[in-house]
């Protein structure tokens, strides 16, 4: 028996439910319109093809890229692995940050013993340490890849991408470095424009933006990248770049979720800011410190360290019904340790709360009261 618990779920950075509009859009493609979209001969496969084209338009419109720059993957992990592997095959290093998500961190360092030269440090608020970053850029060979995590999954910190990309593309122009952005947590949470960011690759995922799990995209800038080698070979789908039968229902759900996100970005943000304020007002008498860049952060995310308590294990037990995250649920225990310890944030005293569309004031207030009563014993 499945029990509805969405009101008390405060881990929306780990995943989101499929929104009703996306679910409705997907349904016919599971059963009535099931033809293989690569088929040429039936009206049903033409319907599948046109649904996939429509989805690309919806995603392109949210991201600010063109439809032809999108290739569907199984999610952000695959997109990131694909780009990184393309550089690795050509013997080119990838510069990443010490607090990147494991999808980037583990892949970039795969098979490398000495990787210090290819990891730049972050400031304690999660922003890029520009001094160390510039030093590491200087040591990169021509044509190497720089990867940036747009909005941090744990801290919520949003990078000033324009500043960083202009440093890479203008100050270090002679190196012809390329830029990949992991926009998994950024997508749908705030507006950005792929073309204006002057980046070369972007990875994203549907399940963080109220679309289904198991589908994502890699966006490749056609103005700067002439080719990328295929990651999955086979039947030649998606211009031979990513073979395998396209998953029409998931792709349709992804597109619809993006369309809804583009309509709701401001509304969602206002809702999250209201909940954030309510939560912080309710716990204002406790001893705590907020982590991340408080000026430029995801509206739905709170990363908080409670002072005066060495270990929050009893609190975490009490908070089980609330699904707050002590770490990144989409990653491993070692990922969380690495990120928080890089930033000198005491892991055992820290938790992440991330709000979603279905979070409401009553549940947020309940969460705050539970934290207060548990910590005060
Ligand atoms: N990058 C970031 C910042 C994430 O938060 C996640 C979440 O899981 C991923 C990458 C991996 O995404 P996916 O689950 O689509 O593979």
* Residues in contact with ligand 1 (CB, 6 Å cut-off): 75-77, 101, 103, 149, 153, 182, 184-185, 205, 216, 330
Q: Which of 19, 65, 204, 330 is catalytic?
A: 330
Which atom of ligand 1 is nearest to 330's Cα? 8
pLDDT digits (tens, 9 = 90+) for 163-208: 999 999 999 899 999 999 999 999 999 999 999 999 999 999 999 9
pLDDT digits (tens, 9 = 90+) for 269-314: 999 999 999 999 999 999 999 999 999 999 999 999 998 777 778 8
Nearest CA to ligand 1 atom 12: 76
Nearest CA to ligand 1 atom 7: 330
What average pLDDT does the structure give for the chain?
A: 93
Q: In testing the pocket of ligand 1, which one of 103, 159, 254, 327 has its CB within 8 Å of the most ligand atoms? A: 103
* 32 alpha carbon – ligand 1 mean position (Å): 31
* 329 alpha carbon – ligand 1 mean position (Å): 10
* 142 alpha carbon – ligand 1 mean position (Å): 28
What is the arithmetic mean of pLDDT over 241-265? 98
* 107 alpha carbon – ligand 1 mean position (Å): 13
Active site residue 258: no
Nearest CA to ligand 1 atom 5: 153
- The band of 79, judged by pLDDT with boundaries at 50, 70 and 90, is very high
Q: In testing the pocket of ligand 1, which one of 208, 253, 325 has its CB within 8 Å of the most ligand atoms? A: 208
Q: In testing the pocket of ligand 1, which one of 205, 211, 336 has its CB within 8 Å of the most ligand atoms? A: 205
Question: Which pLDDT belongs to residue 117?
Answer: 85
* 168 alpha carbon – ligand 1 mean position (Å): 24
Question: Which pLDDT belongs to residue 329?
Answer: 45
Three-class SS of the chain: CCCCCHHHCCECCCCCCCCHHHHHHHHHHCCCCCCCCCCCCCHHHHHHHHHHHHHHHHHHHHHCCCHHHEEEECCHHHHHHHHHHHHHHCCCCEEEECCCCHHHHHHHCCCCCCCHHHEECECCCCCECHHHHHHHHHHCCCCCEEEEECECCCCCEECCHHHHHHHHHHHCHHHCCEEEEECCCCCCCCCCCHHHHCCCEEEEEHHHCCCCCCCEEEEECCCCCCCCCCCECCCCCHHHCECCCCCHHHHHHHHHHHHHHHHHHHHHHHHHHHHHHHHHHHCCCCCEEEECCCCCECCCEEEEEECCCCCCHHHHHHCHHHCCECCCCCCCHHHHHHHHHHCCCCHHHEEEEECCCCCCHHHHHHHHHHHHHHHHC
């Amino acid at each position: 028996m499945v029990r509805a618990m969405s009101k008390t779920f405060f881990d929306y950075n780990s995943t989101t439910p499929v929104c009703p509009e996306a679910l409705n859009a997907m349904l016919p493609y599971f059963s009535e319109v099931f033809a293989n979209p690569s088929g040429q001969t039936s009206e049903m496969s033409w319907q599948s093809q046109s649904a996939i084209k429509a989805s690309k338009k919806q995603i392109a419109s949210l991201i600010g890229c063109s439809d032809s720059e999108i290739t569907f993957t199984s999610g952000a992990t695959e997109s990131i692995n694909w780009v990184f592997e393309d550089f690795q095959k050509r013997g080119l290093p990838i510069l990443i940050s010490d607090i990147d998500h494991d999808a980037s961190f583990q892949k970039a360092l795969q098979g490398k013993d000495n990787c210090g030269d290819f990891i730049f440090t972050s400031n304690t608020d999660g922003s890029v340490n520009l001094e160390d970053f510039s030093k590491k850029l200087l040591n990169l060979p021509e044509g190497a890849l720089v990867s940036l995590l747009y909005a941090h999954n744990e801290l919520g910190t949003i990078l000033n991408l324009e500043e960083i990309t202009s440093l890479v593309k203008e100050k270090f122009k002679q190196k012809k470095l390329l830029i990949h952005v992991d926009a998994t947590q950024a997508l749908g949470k705030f507006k950005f424009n792929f073309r204006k960011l002057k980046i070369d690759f972007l990875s994203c995922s549907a399940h963080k933006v109220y679309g289904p799990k198991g589908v994502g995209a890699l966006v490749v800038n056609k103005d700067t990248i002439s080719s990328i080698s295929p990651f999955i070979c086979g039947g030649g789908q998606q211009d031979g770049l990513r073979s395998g039968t396209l998953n029409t229902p998931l792709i349709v759900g992804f597109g619809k979720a993006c369309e809804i996100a583009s309509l709701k970005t401001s509304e969602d943000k206002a809702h999250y800011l209201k909940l954030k304020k309510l939560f912080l007002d309710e716990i204002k008498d406790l001893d705590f410190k907020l982590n991340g860049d408080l000026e430029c952060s995801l509206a739905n995310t709170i990363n908080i360290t409670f002072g005066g308590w060495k270990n929050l294990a009893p609190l975490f037990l009490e908070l089980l019904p609330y699904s707050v995250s002590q770490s990144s649920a989409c990653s491993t225990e070692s990922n969380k340790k690495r990120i928080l310890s890089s930033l000198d944030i005491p892991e055992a005293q820290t938790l992440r709360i991330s709000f979603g569309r279905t979070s409401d004031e009553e549940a947020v207030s309940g969460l705050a009261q539970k934290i207060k009563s548990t910590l005060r014993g």
